[in-house]
Amino acid sequence: MTVAVFADPLGPRGKIKVAVATLFGGVAVAGVLYVAFRRFQSNGQLEGKLWSDLFTGESLRFFWGGLKNTLKLAGVSLVLALVLGMVLALARLSRRTPVRWLATLWLQFFRGVPLVVLMLFFYFGLDIPNYTAIIMGLTLYNSAVLAEIIRAGILSLDRGQREAAFAIGMTDGQAMRAVVLPQAIRRMVPALVSQLVVLLKDTSLGVAVLYEELLRRGELAGEFLKNKLQAFLFVAAIFLIVNLLLSSAARWLEGRQGKAKKVAPGGPVRVSGVEDLTVA
Amino acid sequence: MGVLLDNLPAFGEGLRTTAALTLASYLVALVLGTFVAAMRVSPIPPLRWLGTVWTETLRNVPLTVLFFVFFFGFTKIGVSYVPFVSAVIVLGCYTSAFVAEAIRSGINSVAPGQAEAARALGLTFAQVLGTIVLPQALRTVVAPLGSLFVALIKNTSIAFTIAVVELTRVVKELASVTGEAIPLYLGAAVAYLLLALPSSAVIGAIERKVAIRR
What is the pLDDT at residue A8?
62
pLDDT band at B46 (very low <50, low <70, confident <90, very high): confident
Please report the ipTM that was assigned to this predicted complex.
0.86
Cα dihedral across residues A82, A88, A92, A95: positive or negative = positive
d(CA B107, CA B38): 9
How far is residue B91 CA from its own chain's centroid?
6
Mean pLDDT, rounded, of chain A: 84
d(CA B26, CA B91): 8
d(CA A92, CA A86): 10
Neighbour-count burial for A5-30, b at 16+ CB within 10 Å, e otherwise: bbbeeeeeeeeeebeebeeebbeeee
pLDDT band at B27 (very low <50, low <70, confident <90, very high): very high
Asked whether the beta carbons of residue B76 and residue A219 sit closer than 8 angstroms, the reply is no
More confident of the two residues B203 and A233: A233
The mean per-residue pLDDT over the stretch A268-276 comes to 48
Asked whether the beta carbons of residue A39 and residue B79 sit closer than 8 angstroms, the reply is yes
Question: Is residue A276 pLDDT above 50, yes or no?
Answer: no
In percent, how much of chain B has pLDDT > 70?
Answer: 98
d(CA B213, CA A221): 57
pLDDT band at A153 (very low <50, low <70, confident <90, very high): confident
Give the other-Cβ count within 10 Å of A59's Cβ. Answer: 19
CB–CB contacts below 8 A, A to B: 196
Instruction: Supply φ then ψ for residue A86, to 5 degrees.
Output: -65, -45
The mean per-residue pLDDT over the stretch A243-259 comes to 80
Element (H, E) at A234: helix A228-259
The mean per-residue pLDDT over the stretch A212-240 comes to 90
What is the pLDDT at residue A274?
43
Element (H, E) at B164: none
The mean per-residue pLDDT over the stretch B145-169 comes to 91
What distances in angstroms separate CA A30 from CA A36, B29, B206, one per listed residue?
10, 24, 41
Q: Using omega within 30 degrees of 0 as the cis cutoff, is the peptide bond preceding A114 cis?
A: no
The mean per-residue pLDDT over the stretch A204-228 comes to 89
Q: Which of A117, A188, A179 is nearest to A149 (CA)?
A: A188
Give the other-Cβ count within 10 Å of A57's Cβ. Answer: 7
Residue B141, helix vs strand vs coil: coil
What is the pLDDT at residue B107?
84
Asked whether the beta carbons of residue A274 and residue B151 sit closer than 8 angstroms, the reply is yes
Q: Which of B45, B153, B46, B137 is nearest to B100 (CA)?
A: B137
The mean per-residue pLDDT over the stretch B63-89 comes to 90
What is the pLDDT at residue B63?
93
* Cα nearest neighbour of A18 on chain B: B44
Give the other-Cβ count within 10 Å of B89's Cβ. Answer: 19
* Cα nearest neighbour of B40 on chain A: A3
Give the DSSP per-residue string, A143-182: HHHHHHHHHHHHHTS-HHHHHHHHHTT--HHHIIIIIIHH
What is the pLDDT at residue A263?
44
What is the pLDDT at residue A133?
93
Question: Is residue A277 pLDDT above 70, yes or no?
Answer: no
Question: Is residue B140 pLDDT above 60, yes or no?
Answer: yes
Predicted model pTM: 0.86
Asked whether the beta carbons of residue B192 and residue A39 sit closer than 8 angstroms, the reply is no
**Contact status of B46 with chain A (Cβ, < 8 Å):** yes
What is the pLDDT at residue B115?
84
More confident of the two residues A241 and A51: A241
Q: How far apart are the first and last CA of chain B?
A: 52
**Contact status of B119 with chain A (Cβ, < 8 Å):** yes
More confident of the two residues B192 and B208: B192
Give the other-Cβ count within 10 Å of A99's Cβ. Answer: 14
More confident of the two residues A267 and A43: A43
Question: Is residue A102 pLDDT above 70, yes or no?
Answer: yes
What is the pLDDT at residue A4?
52
d(CA A84, CA B29): 34
d(CA A242, CA B61): 10
d(CA A230, CA A228): 5
Question: Is residue A254 pLDDT above 80, yes or no?
Answer: no
Are B180 and B45 in contact by the 8 Å Cβ rule? The answer is: no
Question: Is residue B207 pLDDT above 70, yes or no?
Answer: yes
pLDDT band at A259 (very low <50, low <70, confident <90, very high): low
Asked whether the beta carbons of residue B158 and residue A218 sit closer than 8 angstroms, the reply is no
The mean per-residue pLDDT over the stretch B198-212 comes to 83
Give me the residue from B44, B108, B150 closest to A21, CB to CB.
B44
What distances in angstroms separate CA A94 from CA A29, A66, A148, B187, one per listed residue?
55, 41, 14, 31
Asked whether the beta carbons of residue B172 and residue A124 sit closer than 8 angstroms, the reply is yes
In percent, how much of chain A has pLDDT > 70?
Answer: 89
d(CA A105, CA B69): 37
**Contact status of B168 with chain A (Cβ, < 8 Å):** yes
pLDDT band at A116 (very low <50, low <70, confident <90, very high): very high
CA torsion B118-B122-B127-B133 (nearest 10°) is: 10
Question: Is residue A270 pLDDT above 60, yes or no?
Answer: no
d(CA A62, CA A65): 5
pLDDT in tens, A41-54: 888 878 788 888 88
Question: Is residue B102 pLDDT above 60, yes or no?
Answer: yes
